[in-house]
């Protein structure tokens, strides 16, 4: 880690995360209050990092942008924004418009709040968020959009419904597996008998989002992202939240369902029945893998490199579901101390009790050094090499895998070398996908 730079940042800025988040809402139209280049930067970022997914209904280069220039920097950009919003509403067919500010328009002090408020008064479904890039990375932008949505778009004072829950914690696009991940968790929650609003899936509606305040529980499947939004939601709409690790694979999903069941007041009987049914199916699929899993010696040492959700979640699945040996887990997000502690705690309570090493390191190029510290290169006739090994990380960890002779799978952003549509790694089904993809990478040359 360096105090002065971040190497190959595995995210973009707050505005980029915010724009992708708005694009993923049903009928969502982001309106960037920024210089002209910001949305193009996001387009190329997604093109290279999001498993071949770029944009959506209104994404990337279709996104309205005030395209401020030196003139606005000098004289202010409020009137340009007003003109841009008015014309965006005329041209763009949307259900939710969201004005998102940039570094430039925040530094020059444009007052977007009054612009947004004026359009809202006219009945336009519009929100605004201050997402200047210096505020943080794409994960921060996701949280800021949710906060704005909860504050300015959701109806206040709606009657709570017992079995209704909201689900979030996965950032659209910057988790390339966002749709599959959300879908599987949503499916499992529905199996528990819950009614789910997940904001960003095909099943979600603007009406459902407006009424999100009726939920009795908010489920955040992250211990790092979307938590400020959850706190604000509780304050404004009086709905408590539960923050749980991203449930990847059978073991994590089992405890996830028990925690959610308890918090959502689902009967233990129902929860256990769902777990039992899902596990039975899961092992029904695994059963015929067993010969090859053993005969081909498919157990691996592993290095996991990922964001604050994936790094611990993948590590847990490797250790607790597959019986692999995740020796080094590298979390590449810059986090505050408290969040780091929460992430670390996840790995201290592994079911397998496997002893992992967790490191917070933003710079992927430094991972090899951390590995050598833990696992020095030995010489002599009998060598305890770090092999056979696997690197589960992002596309940027291919050089590491090559250097140590390990197989590799891209899961955490950037995922440049895979096509991702509805694939996900959460839940029981996601656990099976993960095993397929890991073992598939090992036997690809068979």
Residues 350-379 within binding reach of another protein (CB under 8 A): 365
Q: Which stretch binds another protein (CB under 8 A): 30-38, 321-329, 426-434, 435-443?
A: 30-38
Contact set for another protein, span 404-433 (CB under 8 A): 414, 416
Q: Which of 45, 147, 222, 346 binds another protein (CB under 8 A)?
A: 45
Which is nearer to another protein, 385 or 417 (by Cβ)?
417
Backbone phi, psi, residue 308, to 5°? -65, -20
Q: How far apart are CB 314 and another protein at their closest, in Å?
A: 20
Half-sphere exposure of 17 (CA within 13 A, CB side): 32
Which is nearer to another protein, 259 or 416 (by Cβ)?
416
Backbone phi, psi, residue 214, to 5°? -80, -5
> 138-167 mask for another protein (x: CB under 8 A)?
x-----------------------------
**Are the C-beta atoms of residues 177 and 420 closer than 8 Å to each other?**
yes
Helices 78-91 & 112-121, crossing angle to 10 degrees? Answer: 40
Contact set for another protein, span 102-131 (CB under 8 A): 102-104, 107-108
Q: Which of 111, 113, 134, 262 binds another protein (CB under 8 A)?
A: 134
Distance CA 346, CA 224 (A): 12
Q: How far apart are CB 23 and another protein at their closest, in Å?
A: 10
Which is nearer to another protein, 358 or 415 (by Cβ)?
415
Burial of 294 (0-12, 13-18, 19+ CB in 10 A): exposed
User: Which residue is associated with the tokens 């990337």?
Assistant: 60
Residues binding another protein: number (CB under 8 A): 75
Distance CA 366, CA 380 (A): 26
**Are the C-beta atoms of residues 147 and 228 closer than 8 Å to each other?**
yes
Which is nearer to another protein, 33 or 164 (by Cβ)?
33
Q: Which stretch binds another protein (CB under 8 A): 3-11, 189-197, 203-211, 246-254?
A: 3-11
**Are the C-beta atoms of residues 212 and 154 closer than 8 Å to each other?**
yes
Q: Which of 22, 24, 25, 63 binds another protein (CB under 8 A)?
A: 63
73 binds another protein (CB under 8 A): yes
Distance CA 186, CA 196 (A): 7
Distance CA 396, CA 411 (A): 11
Contact set for another protein, span 87-106 (CB under 8 A): 87-88, 90-94, 102-104
């Amino acid at each position: 880690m360096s105090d002065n730079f971040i190497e190959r940042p595995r995210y973009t800025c707050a505005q980029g995360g915010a724009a992708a988040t708005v694009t993923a809402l049903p009928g969502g139209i982001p309106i960037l209050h920024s210089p002209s280049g910001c949305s193009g930067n996001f387009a190329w970022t997604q093109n290279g990092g999001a498993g071949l997914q770029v944009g959506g209904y209104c994404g990337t280069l279709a996104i309205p942008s005030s395209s401020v220039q030196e003139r606005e920097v000098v004289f202010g950009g409020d009137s340009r924004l007003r003109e841009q919003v008015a014309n965006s509403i005329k041209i763009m067919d949307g259900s939710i418009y969201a004005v998102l500010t940039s570094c430039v328009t925040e530094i020059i002090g444009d007052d977007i709040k009054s612009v947004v408020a004026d359009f809202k008064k006219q009945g336009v479904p519009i929100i605004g968020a201050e997402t200047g890039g210096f505020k943080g990375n794409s994960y921060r932008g996701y949280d800021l959009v949710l906060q704005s949505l909860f504050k300015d778009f959701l109806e206040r004072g709606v009657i709570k419904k017992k079995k209704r829950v909201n689900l979030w914690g996965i950032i659209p696009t910057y988790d390339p597996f966002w749709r599959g991940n959300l879908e599987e968790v949503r499916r499992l929650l529905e199996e528990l008998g819950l009614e789910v609003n997940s904001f960003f899936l095909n099943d979600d509606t603007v009406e459902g989002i407006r009424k999100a305040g009726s939920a009795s529980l908010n489920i955040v499947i992250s211990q790092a992202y979307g938590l400020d939004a959850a706190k604000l939601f509780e304050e404004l709409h009086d709905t408590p939240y539960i923050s749980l690790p991203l449930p990847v694979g059978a073991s994590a999903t089992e405890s996830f369902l028990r925690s959610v069941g308890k918090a959502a007041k689902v009967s233990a009987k129902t929860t256990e029945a769902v777990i039992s049914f899902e596990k039975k199916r899961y092992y029904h699929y695994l059963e015929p893998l067993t010969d090859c899993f053993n005969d081909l010696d498919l157990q691996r040492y592993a290095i996991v490199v990922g964001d604050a959700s994936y790094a611990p979640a993948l590590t847990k699945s490797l250790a607790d579901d597959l019986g692999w040996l995740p020796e080094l887990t590298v979390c590449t997000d810059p986090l505050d101390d408290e969040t780091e502690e929460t992430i670390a705690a996840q790995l201290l309570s592994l079911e397998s009790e496997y002893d992992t090493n967790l490191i917070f390191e933003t710079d992927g190029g430094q991972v090899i050094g951390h590995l050598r510290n833990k696992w020095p290169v030995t010489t002599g006739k009998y060598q305890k090499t770090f092999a056979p090994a696997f690197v589960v990380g992002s596309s940027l960890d291919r050089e590491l895998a090559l250097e140590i002779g390990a197989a590799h799978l891209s899961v955490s952003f950037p995922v440049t070398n895979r096509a991702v549509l509805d694939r996900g790694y959460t839940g029981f089904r996601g656990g099976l996908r993960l095993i397929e993809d890991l073992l598939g990478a090992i036997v690809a040359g068979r």
